[in-house]
């Protein structure tokens, strides 16, 4: 469907450009998930702003890439 699995494989193989072309939202998604994981581990610091910002950026890139690929 969207190409995220192939993009993850390309990312692990070190082919960052091909991973971006396969699924552009992969890099903001990795940053978003990493920030969420850090916020769960390091609970004394507030990460709400960054989680919302990265979530918005990730969702925006997902929607734009979906419409670009399908229309």
- Whether 2 has a pLDDT exceeding 90, the answer reads no
Supply the pLDDT for residue 69.
Answer: 84
| pLDDT-derived band at 14, boundaries 50, 70, 90 | very high
Supply the pLDDT for residue 1.
Answer: 66
Angle, helices 48-70 vs 26-41, to 10°: value is 160
Mean pLDDT of 31-36: 96
Terminal C-alpha separation, the chain: 15
Q: Are 61 and 28 in contact (CB under 8 A)?
A: yes
35-58 pLDDT, tens digit per residue, is: 999 999 998 889 999 999 999 999
């Amino acid at each position: 469907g969207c190409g995220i699995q192939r993009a993850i494989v390309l990312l692990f193989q070190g082919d960052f450009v091909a991973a971006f072309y396969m699924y552009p939202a992969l890099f903001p998604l990795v940053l978003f998930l990493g920030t969420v994981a850090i916020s769960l581990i390091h609970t004394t610091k507030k990460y709400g702003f960054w989680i919302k910002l990265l979530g918005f950026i990730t969702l925006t890139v997902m929607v734009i890439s979906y419409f670009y690929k399908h229309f």
